[in-house]
Amino acid sequence: MAFNRDNYKKVKRAFEEKERAAKDTADAKKRALGAQHPDIAAVDRELSQTSMLIMREISQGPDRIAERIDELRRSNLALQKVREELLISHGYPANYTDPAYECEICHDAGYLADGSMCSCFKRAMVLAGYESSGIGRLLQTQSFESFKVEYYSDDARSFENMKRVFALCRAYADSFTAGAGNLLLCGKTGLGKTHISTSIAKVVIERGYDVVYDTAQNIFRDFEREKFERSYSSQESAAPSTDRYFACDLLIIDDLGTEMSNTFTVSCLYNMINSRMIAGKSMIINTNLNQDELMKRYSDRITSRLFGEFSPLLFSGVDVRQKKLGF
């Protein structure tokens, strides 16, 4: 697991606020109830003495300490029982002033007594991961489950090929670890490269990894903006920095080759590929370009890495987007 640190901080803060709000609401209810019903207020006052009484017993020395504490515990439980009966007699549910936590298991702390992360916290981290990955909306419609290999069945070779590509990508996602290796998804537009890479991202995020997904165009625009701001602006940028392209566990670059390329973008691409390889971090690159076109467009340093360090998966068939529309 390598959750995104900013997401972790954000989720942790949200949980702390949630926990505090539940307690504050319960306290306010308790005060209002006590003001209305003096008999309950009296029991509450007695109950609030418990920890002070325990401290007093402890300060009186170790003699029969377990027994004395046990006695206090029993009288505390009896008082709680009295309180519950009073609540019911006044027409309230017995748990009327209990904090209403969203999670019954961890009481919105996010962690269990043994220090492990509660499933509700993990779920919140996954949702934050969807958001920070940049895929957001695509995740609602694109997943391995919604990928139809049958769309490729017109031609037997494409069908066999796409079944293999699908199985390989699925296995890649299901067994993803930080050094899972790199994939180069090649093939013409409309053959499902984005759909498959989004599906991989979804599974990998759900398995607790930090994923960043964007088009080559947007990624290079970020680098250019950052360069511009560094040169011409003294102010810190509010936009997320390009650090995330280096720090995440899995970087997915969609549509490589559609950007306006120049020496700057080419050196950014090289820098990303090279830094991530040195750090043992994985990448997926989608491109419509074939080998010759890639070689023409990018430097030898880049293409030798793309062909040497990425597993190429060729998407074949006819444009499946038309089939989805019923043509």
| Binding residues for Zn ion (CB under 5 A) | 103, 105-106, 118, 120
Q: Look up residue 313 and give its two tokens.
A: 């998966």
Residue 111 or 228 with smaller CB distance to Zn ion: 111
Q: What is the DSSP letter of 63?
A: T
Residue 121 or 310 with smaller CB distance to Zn ion: 121
Q: What is the DSSP letter of 149?
A: G
Residue 8 or 270 with smaller CB distance to Zn ion: 8
User: Residue 119 Cβ, how far from Zn ion at the closest point, in Å?
Assistant: 6
User: Residue 112 Cβ, how far from Zn ion at the closest point, in Å?
Assistant: 8
User: Residue 140 Cβ, how far from Zn ion at the closest point, in Å?
Assistant: 25
User: Residue 139 Cβ, how far from Zn ion at the closest point, in Å?
Assistant: 23
The dihedral through the CA atoms of 142, 147, 152, 158 has a sign that is positive
Round to whole Å and give the CA distance between 242 and 225: 10
Residue 105 or 171 with smaller CB distance to Zn ion: 105
User: Residue 128 Cβ, how far from Zn ion at the closest point, in Å?
Assistant: 15
Query: Are the beta carbons of 186 and 287 closer than 8 angstroms?
Result: yes
Query: Comparing C-alpha atoms, which of 151, 159, 143, 135 is closest to residue 190?
Result: 151
Torsion angle defined by CA atoms of residues 307, 311, 312 and 313, in that order, rounded to the nearest 10 degrees: 180
Query: How buried is 221 (Cβ within 10 angstroms: 0-12 exposed, 13-18 middle, 19+ buried)?
Result: middle
Query: Comparing C-alpha atoms, which of 207, 148, 79 is closest to residue 326?
Result: 148
End-to-end CA distance of the chain: 43
Residue 108 or 214 with smaller CB distance to Zn ion: 108
Residue 105 or 279 with smaller CB distance to Zn ion: 105
User: Residue 26 Cβ, how far from Zn ion at the closest point, in Å?
Assistant: 17
Q: Look up residue 249 and give its two tokens.
A: 């566990």
